[in-house]
Amino acid sequence: AQSVTQLGSHVSVSEGALVLLRCNYSSSVPPYLFWYVQYPNQGLQLLLKYTSAATLVKGINGFEAEFKKSETSFHLTKPSAHMSDAAEYFCAVSDGLTGGGNKLTFGTGTQLKVEL
Amino acid sequence: DAGVTQSPTHLIKTRGQHVTLRCSPISGHKSVSWYQQVLGQGPQFIFQYYEKEERGRGNFPDRFSARQFPNYSSELNVNALLLGDSALYLCASSRREMGPGELFFGEGSRLTVL
What's the average pLDDT block by block, 10 residues per block, for chain B (114 residues)?
92 98 95 94 93 91 97 97 97 82 93 98
Average pLDDT over residues A31-59: 91
Report chain B residues whose CB lies below 8 A from the CB of A107: 42
Report chain A residues whose CB lies below 8 A from the CB of B107: 41-43
CA atoms within 13 A on the CB side of A99: 29
pLDDT of amino acid B98 = 66
pLDDT of amino acid A53 = 76
CA atoms within 13 A on the CB side of A97: 7
Among B34, B45, B74, B91, most A C-beta atoms within 10 A, so best to mutate, is: B45
pLDDT of amino acid B1 = 64
Average pLDDT over residues A102-110: 93
- Minimum-distance CB partner of A94 among B58, B101, B104: B101
The tens digit of pLDDT for each residue in A2-37 reads: 899 999 999 999 999 999 999 999 988 888 999 999
- Minimum-distance CB partner of A98 among B35, B56, B108: B56
DSSP chain A: --EEEEE-SEEEEETTSPEEEEEEEE-SSPPEEEEEEE-TTS-EEEEEEE-SS-SEEE-GGG-EEEEEGGGTEEEEEESS--GGG-EEEEEEEE-SSGGGGT--EE---EEEEEE-
Chain B contact for A43, CB < 8 A?
A: yes
